[in-house]
Structure 1
Amino acid sequence: MDLSFDKQHLWHPYTSTLSPLTCYGVKSASGVHITLQDDTQLIDGMSSWWAAIHGYSNPQLNQAAHQQIDSMSHIMFGGLTHQPAIDLGKKLLELVPDNLQHIFLADSGSVAVEVSLKMALQYWHSLGEPRSKFLTLKHGYHGDTFAAMSVTDPDNSMHSLYKGFLPEHIFVESPTIGFFDTWHDDDIKPFQSALQRHHQQIAAVILEPIVQGAGGMKLYHPNYLKAVRALCDKYGVLLIADEIATGFGRTGKMFALQHADIEPDILCVGKALTGGYMTLSATLTSKSVADTVCAGEAKCFMHGPTFMGNPLACSVANASLSILQTGQWQEQVASIERHFAKALPKLRQHAMVKDIRYLGAIGVVETHHTVNMEAIQAHFVKQGVWIRPFGRLIYMMPPYIIKHDELAQLIDAIDSALQKPECFNLQ
């Protein structure tokens, strides 16, 4: 493997070409193990950015891909359809809240968010009441494309340097009451006040239910989400739930919004939809929203990705959802949460630790100092694990199939990193 070529020419995510971080060459991956080119085996704590929920080289997903590629790897979705897309639509409707009846298949999570925002804008345009603002939470994250960046926290995120180029939307303080803490109505007041003041300008509220992902890995109380739904109903504003990171079991529910037992007007899913095999996303909405969008001037929804409804991706997604429909994931995720609940609080003893939190198959250690990515990554590889922190957050989102001893090795590796000053930027 020519890693020198990689370092000179391949631009990796969130990495500088002037001082590129070390990249470790991967030869193969199976189950929860990543095998490097030198045959070093790493236990995966990331599910390849939260997507490979069934692990790698899953036999059912492999079979689905092989069978589909022999008949048709891709066909345009404009004017044509196919059985994998129809099957996927049926499976999704069995899983999502009952009010969601129309499915727009796209090709990445960021595009699903773009689609949801365009739906909301076109909805109000069709009603003859154009609205251009979105209300969202600080410390939120919704993707790296332009509209998605515009509803991602402009001050506390990786997108702050684009401030001034993006449309300016309305941000409120993120919830402060944790998932397991005692609820108090004061937590919803900043949101309530903003919606009351600006609701006539707001096309939709967009947020990540229960878990704010890449914006800070914050876990908030289900009652906050219930209050958001009630306030959106009161002021006649659409609610978009971005479940790209949390959907398909990650928080212990099929969708995080189910912790609050609410129905959004628009739902975005992606990442784990195909079990991490390839890129596919979906934006689902109610019949009321879809029909209103299509009753307007354009007479249709003005969006159409080239790889929309890709049959190969749809086939793998069907296999992934079939695995979820067996229900095994529920005990797997519950078991991971129990392990986190027992093991993570012990890490509070380290001076480096500011907070620990967990929910479902999500475990987070927040530190007082930012990580030294080069040093901490090398440390984790030496410990035989793959964990990729960011900022002050060392987190785990492992495949659901991980075993207790493997999960323990991930946590032990974090424990040892917390004792190494060189793994952090102390100045």
Structure 2
Amino acid sequence: MKILVLGSDGRTHAMVWKLFSSPSADVLCTPGNGGAVLLAPQVELDLANPAEVARWAFAEQIDLIVPAESGSLWAGMVDEVVAMHIGVFGASQRSTRLEWSRCYAKEFLQRYGLPTARGRAFTSLPTAEKFLAAQSLPVVLKADHPAGGGGTYTDRYTALEALRGLFINRPIEGSSNGVVIEEYLPGITVSFSAIVDGSTALPLLPARIYDRLNAAPDSPQAPGMGAITGNSSYARRLGEHLHRHLITPIIAALAKESLPYWGILGVDCVITDQGPRISDLRCSLRDMEAQVVLPRLEDDLLPLIEAAISRRLHQLPPLRWRDEASVGISLVAQGYPNHFAIGGAVRGLSELDEGVLVFHDQTHNPVGMRYTPATRGGPGMLSSLIMGSHAVAPDITLTGGHVLTVVCLGATLNGARGRALLNAERISFPGRTYREDVGSHEFR
């Protein structure tokens, strides 16, 4: 089966890596990154133009499109290929509103009584200003579109200025200028996803996400500093609770809204003293979640994707998982996520222990595989593959501040963390830094 994976970040590399192990899969990626192109030939396509991707996929006889990121789904990838008999592992454009409109998602959660922070969605600036003036601090502001930003504010004047800026800024042409205002919830961030086909859901694993620059509670937001999955009884009970009380009710609510949904359904939540509270909904695995969850999945991913698209997940047994914890430590450039140098070389990847995984995010590999289209007289697939756990070119370079993630599994969380720290130290690039506390605690 010929599969095209869409995306460029760490979860794209993780998805390519997992599908690469499927005996019936020939995997391509677009645009990929310095790690993904070691496993899958790279295709140059504009993911913001789903019609172009659809025409190319049809001409090249692609059987399945797997968006590792949600952007192409927002742009209408499913709607473009529906008449071409190409499977897409993801939701239709109308259903992806759950992710690309935070205002809609907030109202959806409140309409069906799902647990979320107290707050409201606004499309009127004067009304939002009055509401914000009456809220206790700290307070959280979120632009309607995820790319529009937001943050947590402890000063009311600063919050009001930020609110006005969010209404003015429109990161995507045609996007709403709405804003969500809600209470600040202290607690750890957990991502939880399921493979769904519209009625049945196969739950994955809860992953703790480290999304601050360091361990201090007031540390600046820095997406993707690390992630872990646990193998304790608490981790299993947490997954069962999130599936029963969050994922299952959301699927029922989607049916009531007449929103057909298949692919990945994910929730980001804060674990509070009163229980989990949903902060965001997702149509794909979260970056960092994919890197620590997929290595623990013992099952072949491709049959699961096919079953989701053909609406027969109910025929499959529960997923099988390795009884090990996983720890992912991200190596970032000094100054991330604001200002950092790019272009430096990554060293030490060949010095890692056997079995250690490295998922690239913002890297470039000049000797990665390139796809030769069959429509241009090529073979349709490059046959040469670079093999080995860490067989890499010596001149992989940085293209951004979130460079790569070292992932290790172990019988205990501490064991996986120790191995990840040891191997992370062997990798170097200009300004390399990382959080040493990732995995020091499971879900607290």
Structure having the larger proportion of residues in strand: 2
Higher relative CO (Cα under 8 Å, sequence separation at least 6) belongs to 1
Structure having the larger proportion of residues in helix: 1
Fold shared, TM-score > 0.5 on shorter chain: no
Report the TM-score when normalising by structure 1. Answer: 0.33
